[in-house]
Amino acid sequence: MSKKRKKVNVNSYSSDSDEMIRMLKVLGLVVLALVLFYLVFAIANGEIKFGKDKYEKVPDEIQNVEILAGSTFNRQEESYYVLFYNFDNPNSIGYANAYDLYMNMGEDKMFLVDTNKGFNKNYLIDDKTKINISGIDTLKVVDGTLIRVEKGKGVSYKVGLEEINKTLFD
């Protein structure tokens, strides 16, 4: 008897390299879709801008509000105040507020001296009865002192936040 063999038709429609190419194409399309998705949302949210620089140039300003105690009497203005206080003291907020309010009024100029800084500590004393505002060589103040300067000479001073507020706002 003769054995009939069945013909098995083995047709391979794809080879391993074809499947690898298809997989790389799909992966490439997914990556491309994610990049496009990111770009659309980044442009919509302003993360990516076209044309203008992201950072605007701010003109340089010289800060001349805070001064050293040694320059108390040699400012250009004819009359002004100098407020001496420790910027790091928890009570300093009252002095800072008094300064801000006074400057918003548009009156005479006021300068600030941080009594906690090394160069300014030479002018700081503890006894308010020994305050001296006659000149830079003899200048002695306590923390929380406001000096009125006219034509380069100290003409008056007040000590403490309450007295300073009365002088500036009454």
Per-residue model confidence as pLDDT tens for the chain (170 residues): 566 666 655 555 556 778 888 899 999 999 999 999 888 888 887 777 776 555 566 665 556 689 999 999 999 899 999 999 999 988 899 999 999 999 988 778 999 999 999 899 999 999 989 999 988 999 999 999 999 999 999 999 999 999 999 999 88
User: Which has the closest alpha carbon to 83: 11, 150, 168, 17?
Assistant: 168
- Cα 1 to chain centroid distance, Å, stands at 100
